[in-house]
Amino acid sequence: MINSSKAIQAPPMNPKLSISPPQAWLVFLSLTLASFVGVALVGARFVVSHRFAYFNLVWNLLLAWLPLGFAFLAVRYRSAPRRFFACACLCLLFLPNSPYLVTDLVHLKPRPPVPLWFDILLVQSFVLTGLLLGFLSVYLMHRLVSHSFGWRTGWIFTWLILGLTGFGIYLGRFERWNSWDLFLIPVELSRYICGVVVHPRANKTAVVFSMFCTAFLFLTYIAFYALTALHHSHQSGSGNKGKATLSTHND
Does the pLDDT value for residue 231 go beyond 70? Answer: no
Q: What is the pTM of this model?
A: 0.85
115: left (phi over 0), alpha (psi -120 to 50) or beta: beta
pLDDT value of position 57: 97
34 burial type by CB count under 10 A (0-12 exposed, 13-18 middle, 19+ buried): middle
Grade residue 24 by pLDDT with cuts at 50, 70 and 90.
confident
Q: pLDDT digit string (tens) for 47-85?
A: 999 999 999 999 999 999 999 999 999 999 989 999 999
- For the residues 9-24, what does the mean pLDDT come to? 54
- For the residues 39-48, what does the mean pLDDT come to? 97
Q: Are 160 and 177 in contact (CB under 8 A)?
A: no
Grade residue 21 by pLDDT with cuts at 50, 70 and 90.
confident
Does the pLDDT value for residue 16 go beyond 60? Answer: no
Which residues face 138 on adjacent strands? none
Pairwise CA distance, residues 91 & 183, whole Å: 15
- For the residues 155-165, what does the mean pLDDT come to? 97
Q: pLDDT digit string (tens) for 181-202?
A: 999 999 999 999 999 999 999 9
Grade residue 172 by pLDDT with cuts at 50, 70 and 90.
very high
pLDDT value of position 240: 55
Does the pLDDT value for residue 3 go beyond 80? Answer: no
When computed from its CA atoms, the radius of gyration of the chain, rounded to whole angstroms, is 22
Q: pLDDT digit string (tens) for 118-151?
A: 999 999 999 999 999 999 999 999 999 999 999 9
Question: Angle CA(170)–CA(34)–CA(78) in degrees, nearest 5?
Answer: 70
What is the overall mean pLDDT for the chain? 87
Pairwise CA distance, residues 64 & 97, whole Å: 5
pLDDT value of position 140: 95
For residue 113, whether the previous peptide bond is cis, meaning omega lies within 30 degrees of 0, is yes
Percent of the chain whose predicted confidence (pLDDT) is above 90: 78
Grade residue 113 by pLDDT with cuts at 50, 70 and 90.
very high
Compute φ and ψ for 114, nearest 5 degrees: -80, 130
Grade residue 217 by pLDDT with cuts at 50, 70 and 90.
very high
